[in-house]
């Protein structure tokens, strides 16, 4: 007789916009410094160096406008409003044209960050995992089906109704298809992968009681209340 010694963990998933179905998630990748104004505000030169990536565990997803208990081990929780790309096919060593064909849909997301732990990790030359990949750190709104990459559209993040980030997807240093192509040279991509595509300037702290909403033109917004 064979089988698992424990019940397998549930498959993380994200609602599909306007449907009763859900999108099953395999891996979550994130791009760092993909908007020049945010690179500058973090103290970096926004030259077009190749994109760099980090990851979050798939079970770090927070979906459906769920509340966020203020995370452990931080006094400086930051929001980062981002476009999320969902892949419906996989591959490796792809050209941007081939990479564009992997796209299943897009969502508005929030790459929640324990900024104090990230600053400590940067100073010590240590990994970002505990700054970026903590429980409920991957806020993701409903995924809207698409036939190609989103190239433009206003992206805003508001806290308690006040706009704090306001940019356009066209301001990305590396557009969506290029991001997927670069990533496909580092790992083999597969259906169910999500990619957070970076955040524009204006990142800042969230406190208990704050309500953060990420809105991207053409997509459903996602709202998170910190409790
Ligand atoms: Mn980010």
The torsion angles phi and psi of 88, rounded to 5 degrees, stand at: -105, -5
For residue 19, what is the DSSP state? S
Residue 167: CB atoms within 10 A of its CB come to: 19
Distance 115 CA to ligand 1 centre (A): 11
Rounded to the nearest angstrom, the distance between the alpha carbon of 35 and the centre of ligand 1 is 10
Residues 55-81, mean pLDDT to the nearest whole number: 98
Q: How far is the CA of 204 from the centre of ligand 1 (A)?
A: 12
Tell me, in angstroms, the distance from the centre of ligand 1 to residue 34's CA: 8
pLDDT at 1: 64
Kindly report, residue by residue over 133-185, the tens digit of the pLDDT: 999 999 999 999 999 999 999 999 999 999 999 999 999 999 999 999 999 99
| Euclidean distance between CA atoms 7 and 125, whole angstroms | 37
CB–CB of 185/118 below 8 Å? no
- Span from the CA of 165 to the centroid of ligand 1 (angstroms): 13
Q: In sequence order, which residues have a C-beta less than 8 Å from that of residue 127 and are 6 or more positions away?
A: 121
Q: How far is the CA of 152 from the centre of ligand 1 (A)?
A: 18
Q: Which of 1-5, 119-123, 200-204 has the lowest mean pLDDT?
A: 1-5
CA 23–ligand 1 middle distance (angstroms): 21
Distance (Å) from CA 129 to ligand 1 centroid = 13
pTM: 0.97
Among residues 88, 206, 192, 86, which one has the least CA distance to residue 137? 206
Q: Residue 138 C-alpha to ligand 1 middle, in angstroms? A: 10
Separation of CA 92 and ligand 1 centre (Å): 23
CA of 43 to the centre of ligand 1 (A): 15
What are the CA-CA distances from residue 79 to residues 40, 82, 83 (Å)? 17, 10, 13
Residue 31 has pLDDT above 70, yes or no: yes
């Amino acid at each position: 007789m064979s089988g698992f010694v424990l019940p397998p963990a549930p498959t993380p998933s994200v609602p599909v916009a306007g449907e009763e179905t859900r999108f099953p998630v395999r891996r979550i990748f994130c791009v760092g410094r993909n908007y020049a104004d945010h690179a500058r505000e973090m103290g970096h030169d926004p030259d077009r160096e190749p994109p760099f990536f980090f990851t979050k565990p798939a079970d770090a997803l927070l979906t459906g406008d769920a509340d966020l208990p203020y995370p452990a081990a931080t006094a400086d929780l930051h929001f980062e409003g981002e476009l999320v790309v969902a892949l419906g096919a996989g591959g490796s060593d792809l050209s941007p044209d081939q990479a564009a064909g992997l796209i299943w849909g897009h969502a508005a997301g929030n790459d929640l960050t324990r900024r104090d732990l990230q600053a400590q990790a940067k100073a010590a030359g240590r990994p970002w995992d505990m700054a970026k990949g903590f429980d409920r750190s991957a806020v993701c709104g409903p995924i809207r089906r698409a036939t190609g990459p989103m190239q433009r559209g206003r992206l805003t993040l508001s806290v308690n109704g006040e706009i704090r980030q306001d940019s356009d997807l066209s301001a990305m240093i590396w557009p969506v298809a290029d991001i997927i192509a670069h990533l496909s040279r580092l790992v083999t991509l597969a259906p169910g992968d999500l990619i957070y595509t970076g955040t524009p300037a204006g990142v800042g702290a969230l406190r208990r009681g704050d309500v953060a909403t990420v809105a991207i033109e053409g997509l459903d917004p996602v709202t998170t209340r910190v409790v």
